Amino acid sequence: MRHLVDTGDEVTATFFREVPVWHPTHGLNIKRESLDVCSAAACLDLIDRVAPDVVYHLAGMAFVPEAEDNFLNALNLNVVGVSNLIRAVSLVGKKCSFLFTSSAEVYGHFLPEQLPLNESHPVKPLNNYSLSKAMAEMVLGRYASDSLRTVIIRPFNHIGPAQDDRFVVSSFARQLAEISMSRRDSVLRVGNLSAQRDFTDVRDIVQGYRLAALLGSGVYNFCSGEAVQISRMLELLIEQSGVAATIEVDNTRLRAVEIPVLYGSALKAKKELGWSCKYSLAESLRDAYQFWLMILQR
Amino acid sequence: MRHLVDTGDEVTATFFREVPVWHPTHGLNIKRESLDVCSAAACLDLIDRVAPDVVYHLAGMAFVPEAEDNFLNALNLNVVGVSNLIRAVSLVGKKCSFLFTSSAEVYGHFLPEQLPLNESHPVKPLNNYSLSKAMAEMVLGRYASDSLRTVIIRPFNHIGPAQDDRFVVSSFARQLAEISMSRRDSVLRVGNLSAQRDFTDVRDIVQGYRLAALLGSGVYNFCSGEAVQISRMLELLIEQSGVAATIEVDNTRLRAVEIPVLYGSALKAKKELGWSCKYSLAESLRDAYQFWLMILQR
């Protein structure tokens, strides 16, 4: 939202829950609307009133274990939600770009020699979360037309400030911030540190969303193109924070299905959209850590 | 169920609603279980107790307009239901074949020159029903393994006795039976008669299910390979029934999206399973009409 306002776009932002006062959207010059995407009537009413040129659809369940626990809930948020919103756009009938944030998780199975994954890699989702994202991509296919351009983004792992601390790097950053403020003992609890993932700063990703909505069509990977081991991310975070901590493996943080190495190719986004990443890993990790310091000091 | 019993298979049949006394399963030598496939716990309990060698999964929402009206309900029955059942089979861990009845509707968009559709035609579902079926196919992909063989059937239109009269041919058959018994005036209400569809007798289809579960793997079309106009089906039905009726087009029976001509190729099923259709159109229509006479005379 901040990026859109900065570029001069007129923004109507939808919220489901009340936003905490530290939320990055506070003070922004945007129109605010309450919306539950699971309500078809509410989506139709809003789209009819706002008549948007572009819809950035980011609402959804984003945490893999949550979708494993309740598939129907994941389908309601991630599939029916998308269907309600794009159906509303389709019914209102105004020319519109519809951007949907899917996930690199939809690729599922691959062989090491197929890395980096590009957009033509077959989709074979292996958990309820990625199933729901791949299903939502199919829903878009139903409504795409000459006047309703659809764009699907498959981002790889996100990092940066204001991330939910159920995600690995934000969890590390929060724990380090708590240790530095003596809010906890100096033990940092971690899951699998050996996995290698492809991390992109959320601020680079949102710039890509706008480029894709204006210039793109079809599917785009958003990623750095490089795999970094989680243990390396932790090292860099500790460096940025200057906090001394003991590392302890917590079995409850280990996921059932672990893919050892995953990274993608964003060549299509670079070529067609001119998109590239501006933030270094060190900057992203520093800002993630600073975010938690700011939150904890409130 | 009757076909399985006839071949000597030991059958545990699951029911959701109470079965009416005229139901074809009455008097069959089968074990009966009550099951709501939307309950993960109930599926796991049943699969654990029964330990099946083969699961024929036919439960689901089968009527296109119903899924249009309530997508979440369609996803619960047609996606979560499949997920609960195959996940239970996977967790119990016994070697098993899992047959899922998808639908030819998953193909969605095609060009006239691409007919007859075969199994390699791209999947592009264009309504909520076919979306839910294509999504369920993806769920199977998650659980398929060396010990859990998955078979997907994409049947084209069904005909024959005991069909729900929300489907076109059964609706005609019922109306003709009612007219012949003077239960209504001699006006037969119809929707679009110009569409051409590929009809297969349900008794041929169920024989194919067993062959596919025992011998097959992957996706199979079940169809006759020929398109017949709905108006021709009506003519044949009137011939079989000997009933004189006035035809009246009822706008509420017209579907929003109509595909003029659709037929498939069942070459793969013929080659790999040795499957073929035994019932002629005239026999299927006669038996559909006789079924309604039998029901109405009760």
pTM of the model: 0.92
Q: pLDDT tens, B112-137?
A: 999 999 999 999 999 999 999 999 99
Q: What is the mean pLDDT of residues B80-85?
A: 98
Find the CB nearest A139 among B79, B131, B141.
B131
Provide the ipTM.
Answer: 0.90
Q: How many CB pairs under 8 A join A and B?
A: 53
Quick check: B126 and A142 CB within 8 A? yes
- Reduce the secondary structure of chain A to three states and give it as a string: CHHHHHCCCCCEEEECCCCCCCCCCCCCCCEEEECCCCCHHHHHHHHHHHCCCEEEECCCCCCHHHHHHCHHHHHHHHHHHHHHHHHHHHHHCCCEEEEEECCHHHHCCCCHHHCCECCCCCCCCCCHHHHHHHHHHHHHHHHCCCCEEEEEEEECEEECCCCCCCCHHHHHHHHHHHHHCCCCCCEEEECCCCCEECEEEHHHHHHHHHHHHHHCCEEEEECCCCCEEHHHHHHHHHHHHCCCCEEEECHHHCCCCCCCECCECCHHHHHHHCCCCCCCHHHHHHHHHHHHHHHHHC
Report the residue from B38, B76, B138 with minimal CB separation from A134: B138
Burial call A10-38: b when 16+ CB within 10 Å, e when fewer: ebbbbeeeeeeeeeeeeeeebeeeebebb
Of B38, B135, B142, the CB nearest to A138: B135
Minimum-distance CB partner of B71 among A71, A83, A141:
A83
- Identify the pLDDT of residue B255: 66
- pLDDT, tens digit (0-9, with 9 covering 90-100), for A68-97: 999 999 999 999 999 999 999 999 999 999
**Would you state the pLDDT for residue A226?**
96
- Residue B262 half-sphere exposure toward CB, CA atoms < 13 A: 20
**Residue B249 bridge partners (DSSP):** B190
Query: Which residues between 94 and 153 in chain B have a beta carbon less than 8 angstroms from any beta carbon of chain A?
Result: 108, 124-128, 131, 134-135, 138-139, 141-142
pLDDT on residue B54: 98
Report the residue of chain A nearest B141, measured CA to CA.
A124
Confidence band (pLDDT; 50, 70, 90) for A3?
very high
Mean pLDDT along residues B278-284: 96
Please report residues of A whose CB lies closer than 8 A to that of B134.
138
B chain contacts of residue A75, beta-carbon cutoff 8 Å: 72, 75-76, 79-80
Q: Using the predicted structure, report yes or no on whether residue A24 has a pLDDT greater than 80.
A: no
What was the pLDDT predicted at B259? 79
Closest CA to B175 of B241, B88, B106: B241
Q: Is the pLDDT of residue A252 over 80?
A: no
In B, minimum Cα distance to A257 occurs at B142
Token pair, residue B189, equals 């209400």
Task: Give B94 to chain A, closest Cα distance, Å.
Answer: 20
State whether B134 and A138 contact (CB < 8 Å).
yes
Report the C-alpha gap between B40 and B101 in whole angstroms: 19
Residues of chain B numbered 214-273 and touching chain A (CB < 8 Å): none
Tokens describing residue B273: 């399973």
Residue B144, helix vs strand vs coil: coil
pLDDT, position A298? 83
The gap between the terminal CA atoms of chain B, to the nearest Å, is 23
> Is residue A6 pLDDT above 80, yes or no?
yes
The string of pLDDT tens digits covering residues A254-272 is 665 577 899 999 999 999 9
